[in-house]
Structure 1
Amino acid sequence: MIIEIDTRLDYKVAPDSPALLQIEAASLPDQRILETTTDARHASVFVRIPAEDGVGERSWIVAGDRLRCDYRARVEIDRPEVELRALAPTPPRDLPGEVVKYTLGSRFIVPELFEPFVSTRFEGLRGGAFAAAARDWIERELAYVPGASDGTTTAADTFLKRQGICRDYAHLMIAFARAGGIPARMVSVYAPSVEPPDFHAVCELYLAGAWHLVDPTGMAGAGEMVRIGVGRDAADIAFLTVKGESELVKQSVSVRRG
């Protein structure tokens, strides 16, 4: 599948404030970059650095008092659909060292808070069977409500309110997974079926010795997601972090099948 991406950012920022940008599709074995251009107009500094776990890149950018960046790409996805329920758990002793951190708590996710609920609600389920049941529960029980959360909302807040946006769905899925013994990380993606079009937050679960994409909102399938970056939670995958004051002027994200 070919995915075409067109992203445009325009922000007012405090003069010469450094900003950390992560909007470019990652080059990975299951997604090949066919064409790409990044135009950061008027930037005096544009320095690329590796992102988390070697998935994609971040860029430091300094652009006076106006940060403008246009990104376009064509990406070919070659990722077979996998039946989540059929995937076996990976014993803790077999986890690669770099995966272990994704079994632990993070800024927005405290797995221990969810262990009583998970052990009761999904009793007897393990591995992919548990993950599928947890995903289905979240998609069924939560309401997608823009504006229902903000940058401080935790997985526990979402569990209590039963509403949120994609980042909140992903946080709760990761919390359930980690509470159930499955390493889980947050992933920023582009996907053509997301409404409204935007940077989309999903998760990856480590099952059967590999990472597998899961969207608990139900909007995107694994075979059409273009990964941008990964991390412990939303703090690690932000598309733009400005070290100073900033004000949105205009932003658009277009993702379509080629």
Structure 2
Amino acid sequence: MPLAITATLSFVAPHPVDCLLQCEVAGTPQQRIVNGVTTLPAAMPVQRVAAQDGVGERFWITAEGEVSILYEATVEIARRPAELSSLGQVAKTALPGDTTQYLFDSRYCAAETFQSLVEDEFHSLHGGARVEAMRDWIAQHFTYAPGTSGSHTTARDSFVERRGVCRDYAHVMIAFARASGIPARYASCYAPEVTPQDFHAVAEVFLDDGTGGDWVLVDPTGMAEPHETAVIGVGRDAADVSFLTSFGLVDFGGHAVSVERY
């Protein structure tokens, strides 16, 4: 499935400030970048660095004054939807070393606090079947409500409030999975059915697909289908995959995202 993606960001830096951005689609075997261009103010130097787990790239800029960034890309998605209930759980002792970090608590996802809940609620299910049930439970018990959460909202906060946006849904899904002993990470992405259209967030869980295990996209909001999702980057939670991180004061002017089937 080919997607046409456009994203714009604008902000003002009163004084020179280093900024780290991650808004470009990652080139992976499951998603091929047909073309992609990021346009920045003239003469602004860019330093590119590998992103978390080697999925995509971040880039550094030193911003001063008014900054407008335009990203345009066409991406071919080759990812096939997985039948979650058919996937097994990889034994902890058999997990690849780089996945074990995604069993631990992180800034927004205190999984340990959910261990009793997931065991009580999903004790008869394992692996992909449990992930599927947890995804459906979140979808049924949460209300998608823009403006009801912020940059300090944790998975625990969202669970108590039972509302939020994609970021919050993803954090709760990640916390549930980790509490079940299943590695889970946060994925920022673009998808055409996101409403209102914006940068989107989903979870990825590591399950046994018969070849030793692989990462599988899971979206509790139900807005992003794997075969129409273009992943930007991954991390422990939202703190690792912000589209803009400024190491100093900036006045954020806003952003806009458009994702269309091509």
Aligned match for 2:219, one of 215, 231, 247: 215
SS in 1 for 2:136: helix
Q: What's the secondary structure of 2:27's corresponding residue?
A: coil
> What does residue 89 of structure 1 align with?
89
Distance 1:156 1:124 in 2: 24
User: Which structure 1 residue ranges, 5 or more long, are not aligned?
Assistant: none
3-state SS of paired residue (2:6): strand
Task: Quote the residue 1:54 is aligned against.
Answer: 54
Counterpart of 1:233 (choices 221, 230, 237) is 237
Q: How many residue pairs get matched?
A: 258
| 1:1-258 paired onto structure 2 within 5 Å | 1-42=1-42, 44-208=44-208, 209-258=213-262
| Ranges of 4+ aligned residues in structure 1 off by more than 6 Å | none
The DSSP-based 3-state class of the residue aligned with 1:16 is strand
Q: Distance in 2 between matches of 1:255 and 1:12?
A: 26
**245-254 or 92-101: which moved more?**
245-254
Q: Percent identity?
A: 48
Amino acid at match of 1:146: P
The one-letter code sitting in structure 1 at the alignment partner of 2:180 is: G
Task: Report if aligned partners of 1:189, 1:199 keep a CA contact under 8 Å in 2.
Answer: yes
Q: CA deviation at 1:43?
A: 5.2
Distance in 1, Cα, partners of 2:68 & 2:62 = 10
Q: Tell me the CA shift for residue 93 of structure 1.
A: 1.1
For residues 20-65 of structure 1, the C-alpha deviation after alignment (integer angstroms, 9 at most, x for no partner) is: 0000000000100001111111353311000000000000011322
Cα distance in structure 2, aligned partners of 1:44 and 1:210: 38
Distance across 1 between alignment mates of 2:43 and 2:238: 26
Q: Distance in 2 between matches of 1:251 and 1:239?
A: 10
AA aligned to 2:78 is D
- Between the aligned partners of 1:17 and 1:213, the Cα distance in structure 2 is 35
CA contact (8 A) 1:43 1:64 kept: no
Question: CA RMSD of the aligned region, Å?
Answer: 0.9
3-state SS in 2 of match to 1:137: helix
Moved more, 12-21 or 227-236: 12-21
Contact 1:43–1:61 (CA<8 Å) still a contact in 2? no
Q: TM-score, normalised by structure 1?
A: 0.98
CA–CA distance in 2 between the matches of 1:109 and 1:36?
33
Q: 1:43·1:62 contact (CA, 8 Å) conserved in 2?
A: no
Secondary structure in 2 matching 1:14: strand
Unaligned 5+ runs, structure 2: none
User: Which deviates more, 243-252 or 189-198?
Assistant: 243-252
